[in-house]
Amino acid sequence: MKTLLKEKMTRGILLTLSGLVLLFGFFGILNTEIGQHIPVIRELALELGYKSRVDNLSSSQMERFRTQAITHLKGDINAPHRPAIGLNLDSTTIREAANWLQSKGLSCVHGVKGYAFLRCHKIPSKVLGLNSTLNSTTVIDEMDLGFNSQGKLISVNLLHRKLSALQGVELINDISQGLRSSLGVPTKMIGANDVKTFATAMNSVSIEYNFKDYLAKVTASYLPWSGVVLYEQYLSYKN
142 and 228, same domain (yes or no): yes
Cα–Cα–Cα angle for 161, 230, 132, rounded to 5 degrees: 95
Q: Are residues 197 and 119 in the same domain?
A: yes
Both 19 and 127 in one domain: the answer is no
Q: Say how many Å lie between the first and final Cα of the chain, rounded.
A: 47
In a domain, 82, yes or no: no
Q: Which domain does 15 fall in, by range?
A: 2-73
Instruction: Write the pLDDT tens digit of every residue in 155-179.
Output: 999 999 889 999 999 999 989 999 9
Structural domain contains residue 216: yes
Residue 180: pLDDT over 80: yes
- With respect to residue 31, please indicate whether it lies within any of the assigned structural domains: yes
* Number of compact structural domains in the chain: 2
Does residue 86 belong to any structural domain of this protein? no
SS3 annotation, 66-129: HHHHHHHHCCCCCCCCCCCCCCCCCCCEHHHHHHHHHHCCCCCEEEEECEEEEEEEEEEHHHHC
Asked if 87 and 153 touch (Cβ cutoff 8 Å), the reply is: yes
Give per-residue pLDDT as tens, 58-110.
555 556 555 555 666 677 899 999 999 989 999 999 999 999 999 999 889 99
Same domain flag for 154 and 54: no
Residues 105, 159 within the same domain: yes
